[in-house]
Structure 1
Amino acid sequence: MTPDERGPDDDGKDGGPLAEYRGRRDARRTPEPVPDGEALPRGDDDTFVVQEHHARSLHWDLRLERDGVLVSWAVPKGLPWSPETNHLAVHTEDHPLEYATFEGEIPHGEYGAGKMIIWDRGTYETEKWSEREVKIVIHGSRVSGRYVLFRTRGRNWMIHRMDPPADPGAEPLPETLRPMRAVERRRLPRDPDAWGFEFAWGGRRTAAYVEGGRTRFTDARGRAVDGPGGLGSRLGAQLGARPALLDGELATVGGREIYILYDVLHLDGRPLLDVPYRERRDALDGLGLSGSLWQTAPWFPADGEAVRTAAAEQNLPGVLAKRLDSPYEPGEESDAWRFIPTR
């Protein structure tokens, strides 16, 4: 039987069930646990852990204690929250039980290089365990319920949630959404205390749909477009398992193109279109999204004159005034958002 054909019950007789794990790692170079002995500890076969693995491609590792090892699957999009969607789960080498508590940075150049974070852990019960199907009941702090893993081909499996949705009120991200547009005005609003003010960056309007660590983009007309190289995967990695729909634009700042974020329209399964602008901005700021290819734009309640002066000094095209109590109106040009040129 080749390594790619091993099922979760294979005991790795050609060196023990941890032979492949040890063969991929050098204990002198990685902080991961690499036990020396061949004897395996025996637990109650009820420990599970899900680790968020920021490797070359972000994924989540599901590990189940079985016969003294952690039987493991890499799940690129994380565990499904609803029975309507199955997720790919790639069976990987067995890990030692000590890995259930491992968090740390696997060095560059080593197998699985990148940050490993415990996303959830707890206990599980086995309903069925065979080479082609594993049925379990998970009891964690972030994920609980009945799941089945079933083998499709080689190391490729699928994972399916057997219980109803973990969050019945959650809604999926929309397939596409046209952005809200501002009307042009020559003067700042007369009641500045009712408005928030942002810089107008003069870039290309772009929405980002982030889910399962992956990102897709649409343009000002709601059409699918490619983002700059590396932006989608790196932005998705920062949000991790949190689904979000972000509004922003691709603009040239300091001589390089970056993604400027200034609104969040859907977060953690909840549409935010009817939520006031002030609350959406607070939610966006709370995400702490900042990286080399993206930045969360600043905003300034009730301070339009100062923002307009700063925009003119930086040779920006203008200022956006947005009513603090305004909802988001997809595809509409609304007086609740106003573009005021600097010239």
Structure 2
Amino acid sequence: MDKLDDYLERRDFDRTPEPFEAGRSSNLAPRYAIQKHDATRTHFDLRLEWDGVLLSWAITKGPSFDTSEKRLAVRTEDHPLSYIGFEGTIPEDNYGAGTVMLWDLGYWEPLDPVDKGLKKGHLHLRLHGARLTGDWNLVLMKGKEKRENWLLIKGDDEAAGARDPVRRYRRSISTNRTMRQIASEKKPVPLHEGKRPRFAKPQLATLSDEMPDGDGWWHEMKFDGYRALIALGEDGPRVFTRNGKDWTDRFESLAPAFAQVDCDSALIDGEIVAGAGLDGFSNLQKAIKNGGPFRFYAFDLLDRDGTDLTGKPLTDRRAALEDIWHDMPAEGPAQLSPVIEENAAEVFDRVCDAGGEGLIAKRMADTYRHSRTKSWLKVKCRRRDEFVVIGWQESDKRGRAYSSLALGAHDGDDLVYVGKVGTGFDADDMDELSDAMRPLERKTAPAEVPRAEARGVHWITPKLVAEIDYAERTADGMLRHAVYQGLRDDKPARTVRLDNDRMTEDDRTPVAGVEISSGDRKVYPDAGVTKLDVARFYETMADRILETAADRPLSLVRLPEGLGGDRFFQKHAGKGFPDGLKTVEIEESDGGTEPYMYVTDAAGLVAAAQMGTLELHIWGSRRDRLDRPDRMVFDLDPDEGLDFSDVRAAAFEVRDALSDLGFASWPLLTGGKGIHVIVSLRRTAGWDTVKLYARIFAQLMATRAPDRYTAEMSKKKRKGRVFIDYLRNERGATAIAPFSLRAHPGAPVAVPVGWDELKDIESARAFDLESAQERDWSAVDLPAPVGVTEKRVDKLEAALSQEAD
């Protein structure tokens, strides 16, 4: 008999929204959930993932943190794994009819063998939920009843004795809705109501060989995980890496853990490690692949409810952090990093003996700085750093893909060899590394390697970054007792440098391999956006920007000192520009040539940001066929007295008129005042033909509605009208690139949108630096390119003549 037969037989899936598919296992740690169920009698359903199903018990009064309480838990039919996230209403006249709330969610840890415990009638387990945590016991009651009656009893630990969770938690852990709101099918309710803070560069600790002590310092554990900043606000939590990458999707299962943080908004600094009893960096890598489990340790608070706390001393920031943490469950998946008040040297020895990472020493009176400082010092038990994989050593053992990896790191402009690592791999690591290295194989070594060390090594292009634990580096720079910990993709290989955790004299920050100087300069003072924020924005948005901007001549709008300083519109690369900004010689109208800029990758975009660029303006053709445009742009530029609604209406009329002529189009919010209506073109016509067509079309629109449109640039002619600027469609003319920042207050971004979506947008500046990062091209139905032909020009010219008559 299949374990789910009882579940399936009781339900008519044409009449109930409950899931009928079996679902899939998380593979790393078994999941756990509790669902509050308003059936004939309100109860709480405990679900424990095991052996391909959810073991289920109905807890009549719900769980209690009181160790003296023995709550009845009636064993029910096994449920499919897909049921673990179910929330909704089971209609009347169905089995279990009533409203179901997802009340708690997380993972569980068997403390004794499960199959043996089920037969014996005693399950000893540890819960790692957002609400229920710590040790619990399920004990089978002896009796003659057909149903299995168990007792759920809280173990005596740090979580014991907390407030009654049934009364304390009355909203869904996933949607924050009450039972009544779920029954009414209301939308999810925001957990936090304030504006979510932007990412801010974290403060970094400097490596030290000595443990500072004294009244002015305190100490915390050095965790074995990923540094993360958690931003909380009305749009839900976001998880950022130390380099500003948005990894919310990778740590999605951690989101419910922040439901009880007492704030409207916050930016919390901390570390994510593997959770549910799993330890070590390699387990964290596996957890990321499997969607969990995770644990977050919070150790600093940068912003609370819109107030910047970075200028406060550490003691004040910690007090504020503890204040918003007061309602969080003990031993939960989101915890405070403990402050160590004992003798630091003694604690350090115990940490190292237990196989820990080390300690972080923090100066209590210092403010938070967005750079590497000596206010925070890290003392490691062993060394742990990132290195670039440059090749693999052949293995003579059957079933082993390689015996070791060759490693390197950047020292100045050079990639240098630092030795090999041959331990720490399991079978999964072997498969993952083999798959990752195979496409990167090359014939020559990317670094200078001694002949004896190079024998039998297969070289690869240096793109993979590995976390390596090691005892020390020898006098000749080689790693001793190196142990592989896992691959990491939060850092580009170009940024991996020797002694990369020591302070640099000019404190430059690498982004996409480009060193960003003066990164803390606020270029959008009103929005608090720095030069480094701009560089990271262009790195994050590179794939979306390059969709249209790659390999086109482009011009830069540079404001090296920010919005309050001088502004330059630059077409040609200047002396000292970074290599990422490539150049192509283009003939000018006078017969001479000039070096025009173009970009092909994220490094080029970030290089532009390093030169103070805010805006990117692109040609309508690519450099392989400069004489053949592949886009036609109509810039709808409104008179100052018009509202955005007038521009929006104009965009729809332009769209319809183009459609009647056989041209599909898409809209771009410019981030300024207007909208660009853009047509994708086949590269069959030259600039003169495309410009002529665009001019006649603009004149046609102005002729049809002279009170609303003009095709003339004159300010006098534009009074009360929308200027349909067709002049973007000539050789050398540029238009703002999709997803480019604009040099206006608030850091607005030019964003492509869908026509249906445009109906509800209220401003051409609807997206700023933060919200634009959540967008991609999926909202836009990009039409197939269409050719502009002489026949089309003649037909349009005839239509204009007819309208004029």
Scaled by the length of structure 1, the TM-score of the pair is 0.51
Structure with bigger strand share is 1
SS at match of 1:225: coil
Per-residue deviation at 1:231?
0.6
Following the alignment from structure 1 to structure 2, what is the Cα–Cα distance between the partners of residues 238 and 79? 9
Per-residue deviation at 1:240?
5.8
Following the alignment from structure 1 to structure 2, what is the Cα–Cα distance between the partners of residues 252 and 79? 26
1:232-247 map, 5 Å:
232=255, 234-239=256-261, 242-247=264-269
Structure 1 residues 209 and 291: CA distance shift in structure 2, 3 A: farther
Residue number in structure 1 paired with 2:355: 315
Following the alignment from structure 2 to structure 1, what is the Cα–Cα distance between the partners of residues 372 and 192? 39
Q: Do the aligned partners of 1:196 and 1:324 also contact (CA within 8 Å) in 2? A: yes
Q: Do the aligned partners of 1:173 and 1:266 also contact (CA within 8 Å) in 2? A: no
Q: Do the aligned partners of 2:177 and 2:188 also contact (CA within 8 Å) in 1? A: yes
1:148-227 map, 5 Å:
172-189=195-212, 191-212=213-234, 214-226=236-248, 227=250
Pick from 77, 82, 85: which aligns with 2:190? 77
Pick from 288, 299, 303: which aligns with 1:262? 299
Residue number in structure 1 paired with 2:78: none
Q: Do the aligned partners of 2:192 and 2:232 also contact (CA within 8 Å) in 1? A: no
1:338 aligns with 2:377: yes
1:306 aligns with 2:346: yes
Following the alignment from structure 1 to structure 2, what is the Cα–Cα distance between the partners of residues 78 and 313? 41
What do the CA deviations read for 1:97-146 (whole angstroms, capped 9, x no partner)? xxxxxxxxxxxxxxxxxxxxxxxxxxxxxxxxxxxxxxxxxxxxxxxxxx
Q: Do the aligned partners of 1:176 and 1:223 also contact (CA within 8 Å) in 2? A: no
SS at match of 2:224: coil
What residue identity is the alignment partner of 1:271? D
Following the alignment from structure 1 to structure 2, what is the Cα–Cα distance between the partners of residues 262 and 78? 22
Q: Do the aligned partners of 1:209 and 1:246 also contact (CA within 8 Å) in 2? A: yes
Structure 1 residues 78 and 295: CA distance shift in structure 2, 3 A: closer
Cα-Cα RMSD = 3.4
Per-residue deviation at 1:195?
0.3
Pick from 42, 52, 58: which aligns with 1:29? 42
Per-residue deviation at 1:73?
6.4
Q: Do the aligned partners of 1:199 and 1:319 also contact (CA within 8 Å) in 2? A: yes
Residue number in structure 2 paired with 1:165: none
SS at match of 2:202: coil
Q: Which has the higher contact order (CA 8 A, sep 6+)?
A: 1
Structure 1 residues 241 and 318: CA distance shift in structure 2, 3 A: closer
Structure 1 residues 57 and 213: CA distance shift in structure 2, 3 A: farther
Q: Do the aligned partners of 2:192 and 2:233 also contact (CA within 8 Å) in 1? A: no
SS at match of 1:55: coil
Following the alignment from structure 2 to structure 1, what is the Cα–Cα distance between the partners of residues 344 and 360? 9
Per-residue deviation at 1:245?
1.2
What residue identity is the alignment partner of 1:216? R
Structure 1 residues 211 and 200: CA distance shift in structure 2, 3 A: same
Residue number in structure 2 paired with 1:55: 172
Segments of 5+ residues of structure 1 without an aligned counterpart are: 1-23, 32-50, 64-70, 82-171
Q: Do the aligned partners of 1:76 and 1:212 also contact (CA within 8 Å) in 2? A: no
1:276 aligns with 2:313: yes
1:130-145 map, 5 Å:
none
Runs of 4+, deviation exceeding 4 Å: 24-27, 71-75, 78-81
What residue identity is the alignment partner of 2:189? P
Following the alignment from structure 1 to structure 2, what is the Cα–Cα distance between the partners of residues 240 and 57? 17
What residue identity is the alignment partner of 1:59? N
Q: Percent same amino acid at aligned positions?
A: 22
Aligned residues between the structures: 201
Q: Do the aligned partners of 1:246 and 1:263 also contact (CA within 8 Å) in 2? A: yes
Scaled by the length of structure 2, the TM-score of the pair is 0.23
Segments of 5+ residues of structure 2 without an aligned counterpart are: 1-36, 44-60, 62-167, 280-293, 383-805
What do the CA deviations read for 1:155-190 (whole angstroms, capped 9, x no partner)? xxxxxxxxxxxxxxxxx443211211000110112x
What do the CA deviations read for 1:285-340 (whole angstroms, capped 9, x no partner)? 3313445422211012473213312321221121100000111112x000000011
SS at match of 1:177: coil
Following the alignment from structure 1 to structure 2, what is the Cα–Cα distance between the partners of residues 322 and 211? 28
Q: Do the aligned partners of 2:310 and 2:369 also contact (CA within 8 Å) in 1? A: yes
Q: Computing the radius of gyration over CA atoms, which structure comes out larger, 1 or 2?
A: 2
Structure with bigger helix share is 2
Structure 1 residues 255 and 238: CA distance shift in structure 2, 3 A: same
Following the alignment from structure 2 to structure 1, what is the Cα–Cα distance between the partners of residues 175 and 262? 8
What residue identity is the alignment partner of 1:29? T
Per-residue deviation at 1:52?
8.4
